[in-house]
Amino acid sequence: MRLLRILTRVVVVATVLGVLYLAVTFVQVWRASTTDRAAVSDAIVVLGAAQYDGAPSPVLRSRLDHAIELREQQVADVIVVTGGNRPGDRTTEASASASYLLENGVPEASIMREVSGTNSWQSLAAAARFLRAEDMLDVVLVSSPYHALRTEAIAEEVGLRGRASPAARSSESVASQAGNLGREALAVGIGRIIGFGRLVDLDDRVGRVRGVTGTG
């Protein structure tokens, strides 16, 4: 009985600490989503989002418009667009983004492309390889507000000094925004413990298991 009481206390304490850890992380994710940390840097990195046959989705267009504004404010001359393609796509997210930037007055010489990543970690890791080769380590990260803290953490993991500058909020409901923040808090909380690269691997494995078992 004594051992059972000790185990029960350990479980209770561990649960309370876990809840507190996630609560603090949630607040950090929320604060990052409302904070623009843009500063003069070597490049502006735009995280990819959906595109429709070469046309950026509203979410991606919001990110690109924000990157253009940052460039006009002389935060950096170079814009790095990221993102590969999905099954059935005829173009990549990066190519759709580059075309949009060109149409809006950004010169070809100021655009760098990362065209292989299928998630934020892969895209930032791939972009980091060619940015480091050019000694361009200070970057401003443009993504959706709820994603700001995780992009900074991933950038640090892949060898970049990143500052998040969230794009304008989309017309999501309060419940949807809260859900996004909650999922990000969980992802950041786990990623800080096991590493964000490992988190991506774990997510991929879970996805494959779901596909095999028919539960996802």
pLDDT single digits (tens) 137-161: 999 999 999 999 999 999 999 999 9
Element (H, E) at 81: strand 78-82
pLDDT in tens, 123-132: 999 999 999 9
CA–CA gap between residue 148 and residue 165 (Å, rounded): 7
Domain-wise residue ranges, the chain: 33-170
Average pLDDT over the chain, rounded to an integer: 89
Nearest-5° angle of CA 105, CA 125, CA 132?
70
The domain 33-170 having CATH identifier 1.20.58.2030: the answer here is no
- State the Cα–Cα distance between residues 65 and 61, nearest whole angstrom: 6
pLDDT tens digits along 57-115 = 999 999 999 999 999 999 999 999 999 987 777 899 999 999 999 999 999 999 999 99
Q: What is the pLDDT of residue 209?
A: 39
Question: How far from chain centre, in Å, is Cα 2?
Answer: 47
The more confidently predicted of residues 208 and 86 is: 86
Dump pLDDT digits (tens) for 171-183. 667 788 889 999 9
Number of C-beta neighbours around residue 161 at 10 A? 12
